[in-house]
Structure 1
Amino acid sequence: MKRLLKKCCSIILGLALMTSTFGSVASAAANPNPSWSVDERVIFHGQCLPYDYYAAKDPTIVRYNGQWLIYYTGANQSGGWQMCFTSASTIEGLKTAKRTYLSKIGEAYFCAPELFYFEPQNLWYLVYQDGTHGAAYSTSTNPADPNSWQGPKSFGISGNMGWDYYIICDDQYAYMYNTPSDGSGNLYVRKTTLANFPKGWSAPTVSIRNTFEGAEVYKCLADGQYYLLIEDMKDGRYYELWTSSSAGGPWTQVAEKWAWRGNLTKYNADKWTTNVSHGELVRAGYNQKLEINDINKVDFLIQGTTNMNAEYQKIIWDLGLIRNYNGTGPDSNVNDDPIEITPKSAFERIEAEKYDDQSGVEIEDNPDGTGRNIGYIQNGDYTVYKKVDFGSGASSFQASAGSNSVGGNIEIRLDSLNGKLIGTCAVPNTGGWKAWTNVSCNVSEVTGEHDVYLKFTGGSDYLLNLDWFKFDAKAISEGKLGDVNGDNSIDSLDLMLIKKHLLGDALENTALADLDGSGAVDAIDFALMKQYLLGVISEFPGKA
């Protein structure tokens, strides 16, 4: 994903003295009192009836594959909150876009979503609060499909539970923020390692006191700092701003009223809000690091209203953008780069849960703490692994699988669900869903780079669990390795063919040029050929 790194403003703004429990005011690059422009509403309450009868609120927004994706809360007539979805290619297009209730999750109470792509697992997460687990999440490989979510699932946390669970990750940890339901005004944080995510959370600790709810944290690319936004309600609804060098704090306050009615200075449509309430910043990307380009140039999708004189659940909220810079909004500077998928070797273990797409399967934790697997696999379910490089060819497929039923089959297909079938691997009853057994089968006629589809077939019961899989490279004739042009001589002509291959000309037989036996022809093979011709080596490592 391409991101433009921008320099922060070099003028350090003097800040008035503010008191807080956990630190004094920061002398930070962030403007503590910016002027905000208010655009028109783009999502109104009552557009996803009956789920948003009173309000559309608590949005999360990402730009993905040329579309703005927004999940948000709807307040219904019976006193509950439920989640809806909408998407459009432009912000203005959201006004007339289809609204969809998240019936795939379908709880009586689930709200306040956060959406991000968790790169270590190649998986999208929708984080929210619900009536089943308190802190819940669902997963998907296609966030643009509101019917693709698998959940609700529990984070397994306890203590100081309540509202607005929000997660940000650095290179080692995931941090979860939330405010409890005890009215204490505290903001809590807990953490877990990226390897253990979404489980293994620490006990909660107080991060900020004397506040309200709706906290969110971002990494600013311009100055390398983290910024925490949190809603307060001491003078209407408004947002505080805090900063830290770490995603987990400690936090120093930049402004008590960073975005509030007093600095909403320009309305580009009707004056539809005098409150700045639960919203989310438009990010530079969509992964777990929650990055923004510049804290002094943000687009902020908020819930707004001009009338707070109603019961809490019956307050009318609509959604629209505000921004703290002179400009025309995020459509003028969107990032439509797709997820960049790195090719993976067919000859190294591929963890089954690290798919790029799927249908029907669920990810499970292994009880012995050794990792994760996919399970709940039924007839017709499948997983997809993109850009698998078979190099000069594969001869067999092997996998670690388990079954506590009659078992099933793994069909190995190329490039589509009904694409070329190169092998079928049978998985028997192994005596338990996690009683892992290595199974294998031959595969045929596969070289180069392909998307691999594992299609699961069998009876009407659950079939099998899958932990990992890999392919074995095709055997190479010893006498021919290095004779790339097949003239029974290994010479400079063979070296030139490898060089031309690296520059883009395809080889007729890559097996003879794969001198190190890695499954791919690359610069290492070119270097080995040069060493052979200079007499440095007398045979190629791949010969074995």
Structure 2
Amino acid sequence: MSPGCGVPTSFKWESSPALITPPSGSVSIKDPTVLFHDGKWHVYATHYSNSYNMTYLSFTDWDKAGAAPKTLLSTNPNLTGYKCAPQLFYFSPQDLWYLVYQSQPPTYSTTRDPSDVRSWSAPRKFIENEPAIVTQNKGSGTWIDFWVICDDANCHLFFSDDNGHLYRSQTSKASFPAGFGTPVIVMSDERFDLFEAANVYKIKGTDKYLLIHESIGDGRYFRSWTADKLDGAWTPLADTQANPFAGKSNVTGAGWSNDGISHGEMLRDNPDETMTIDTCNMRYLFQGRTRAGAEYNLHEYSLGVLTDAR
């Protein structure tokens, strides 16, 4: 088993073509979560037709992704209505799979079979109402793009507000999914410099964590930071548009996405709550805008994969 390759000092990527297109009748497929389990890749993602909901597909190899059947999560009576921006992981202490999503509050469902859309439980909320610290700082934004990661003792819920703030709430691993406390602001910046779609990962073979966060400049791009612990201070890694985690300046082959590199997820080393990635073999599933619409909801998005090209 690979011990990992440590913290990267730079990033360079080659993009696939658009591999996964929207379900029939939908304008876009976005915000993917992805993991490998039981011999196949599992992808959950947002789709938009007249409203936002989610879709599921699975496949054994990426060259089969485009032909994989898609199942709308709204076919599960528990998951109708506005639900989007999923995160999928296996919570090992409970032998349960969690699907985290926004409804608008941070919400989750559970199952013992992540390939069975109809098996997901009724939604439950991590935090019932928008916290005061978010209301005071969000401006015209809202709390968005929820992300869970656990260390040995605690589970942490990260999220953004489309207004330059990254937040974190915490509960003990023994109490999860209950007990998330009052969020704190992890970092703040100008609105478009710290916009949305935060991911946090454990770097395999190290005591380091990697944070990536979407920004808006000349198109969408991702900044990155590292930390020694999930409730610690974050140190800039590749955190500018000229030197990003991923963006137009260090990605080739993504010309099909006319607005840069947007909301996605790393292909992880294992499916569990530690969110571990192997930096020896980095790949990132992302949303690319194939055509601009008359308004944001009508932008057309498909999914492609970035592969490490350093």
Asked if Structure 1 and Structure 2 have the same fold, meaning a TM-score greater than 0.5 normalized by the shorter chain, the answer is yes
Hey, what does 2:138 align to over in structure 1?
A: none
2:207 to 224, 234, 242: 224
Deviation per residue, 1:208-232 (Å, 9 max, x gap):
2120000010000133310001111
Question: Are 2:151 and 1:170 equivalent residues in the alignment?
Answer: yes
Q: Write the letter of the residue equivalent to 2:221.
A: Y
Query: Are the structure 2 counterparts of residues 324 and 310 from structure 1 closer, same or farther at C-alpha, using a change threshold of 3 Å?
Result: farther
Question: How many Å apart are 1:35 and its aligned residue?
Answer: 1.9
Question: Are 2:250 and 1:271 equivalent residues in the alignment?
Answer: no
Asked if 2 retains the 8 angstrom alpha-carbon contact of 1:298 and 1:325, the reply is no
1:89 to 39, 52, 60: 60
Question: How many Å apart are 1:307 and its aligned residue?
Answer: 4.5
Instruction: State the SS of the aligned residue for 1:317.
Output: strand
Asked if 1 retains the 8 angstrom alpha-carbon contact of 2:292 and 2:298, the reply is no
Asked if 2 retains the 8 angstrom alpha-carbon contact of 1:124 and 1:141, the reply is yes
Q: Give the distance between the partners of 2:281 and 2:237, measured in 1 at CA.
A: 16
Question: Are 2:108 and 1:108 equivalent residues in the alignment?
Answer: no
Structure label with greater radius of gyration: 1
Hey, what does 1:254 align to over in structure 2?
A: 237
Question: How many Å apart are 1:138 and its aligned residue?
Answer: 0.3
Asked if 2 retains the 8 angstrom alpha-carbon contact of 1:54 and 1:314, the reply is yes
Hey, what does 2:137 align to over in structure 1?
A: none
Question: Are 2:2 and 1:31 equivalent residues in the alignment?
Answer: no
Hey, what does 2:31 align to over in structure 1?
A: 58
Asked if 2 retains the 8 angstrom alpha-carbon contact of 1:304 and 1:318, the reply is yes
1:6 to 4, 7, 10: 4
Asked if 2 retains the 8 angstrom alpha-carbon contact of 1:125 and 1:140, the reply is yes
Hey, what does 1:312 align to over in structure 2?
A: 296
Q: Give the distance between the partners of 1:93 and 1:307, measured in 2 at CA.
A: 24
Q: Give the distance between the partners of 1:70 and 1:298, measured in 2 at CA.
A: 17
Hey, what does 1:143 align to over in structure 2?
A: 114
Instruction: State the SS of the aligned residue for 1:305.
Output: strand
1:43 to 1, 20, 29: 20
Question: Are 2:170 and 1:191 equivalent residues in the alignment?
Answer: yes
Q: Give the distance between the partners of 1:281 and 1:264, measured in 2 at CA.
A: 15
Q: Give the distance between the partners of 1:249 and 1:120, measured in 2 at CA.
A: 24
Query: Are the structure 2 counterparts of residues 119 and 239 from structure 1 closer, same or farther at C-alpha, using a change threshold of 3 Å?
Result: same
Query: Residues 16-415 of structure 1: matches in 2 within 5 Å?
Result: 29-32=7-10, 34-45=11-22, 48-50=23-25, 53-76=26-49, 78=50, 80-102=51-73, 103-104=75-76, 105-131=78-104, 134-158=105-129, 159=131, 160=134, 162-180=143-161, 183-210=162-189, 211-256=194-239, 257-265=244-252, 267=253, 271-274=255-258, 275-294=260-279, 297-305=281-289, 307-308=291-292, 310-325=294-309
Asked if 1 retains the 8 angstrom alpha-carbon contact of 2:157 and 2:169, the reply is yes
Question: How many Å apart are 1:72 and its aligned residue?
Answer: 0.3
Q: Percent identity?
A: 32
Asked if 1 retains the 8 angstrom alpha-carbon contact of 2:31 and 2:85, the reply is yes
Asked if 1 retains the 8 angstrom alpha-carbon contact of 2:79 and 2:122, the reply is no
What RMSD, in angstroms, separates the aligned Cα atoms of the two structures? 1.7
Asked if 1 retains the 8 angstrom alpha-carbon contact of 2:5 and 2:278, the reply is no
Q: Give the distance between the partners of 2:187 and 2:247, measured in 1 at CA.
A: 20
Q: Give the distance between the partners of 1:314 and 1:324, measured in 2 at CA.
A: 31
Instruction: State the SS of the aligned residue for 1:288.
Output: coil
Q: TM-score, normalised by structure 1?
A: 0.51
Asked if 2 retains the 8 angstrom alpha-carbon contact of 1:107 and 1:130, the reply is no
Asked if 2 retains the 8 angstrom alpha-carbon contact of 1:168 and 1:288, the reply is yes
Asked if 1 retains the 8 angstrom alpha-carbon contact of 2:157 and 2:168, the reply is yes
Instruction: State the SS of the aligned residue for 2:122.
Output: strand
Asked if 2 retains the 8 angstrom alpha-carbon contact of 1:83 and 1:110, the reply is yes
Instruction: State the SS of the aligned residue for 1:237.
Output: strand
Q: Give the distance between the partners of 1:310 and 1:113, measured in 2 at CA.
A: 25
Question: How many Å apart are 1:242 and its aligned residue?
Answer: 0.8
Asked if 1 retains the 8 angstrom alpha-carbon contact of 2:16 and 2:305, the reply is yes
Q: Write the letter of the residue equivalent to 1:221.
A: K
Q: Give the distance between the partners of 1:313 and 1:299, measured in 2 at CA.
A: 27
Give the number of equivalent residue pairs. Answer: 289
Asked if 1 retains the 8 angstrom alpha-carbon contact of 2:79 and 2:123, the reply is no
Q: Write the letter of the residue equivalent to 1:248.
A: D
Question: How many Å apart are 1:310 and its aligned residue?
Answer: 3.9
Q: Write the letter of the residue equivalent to 1:107.
A: T
Q: Write the letter of the residue equivalent to 2:153.
A: Q
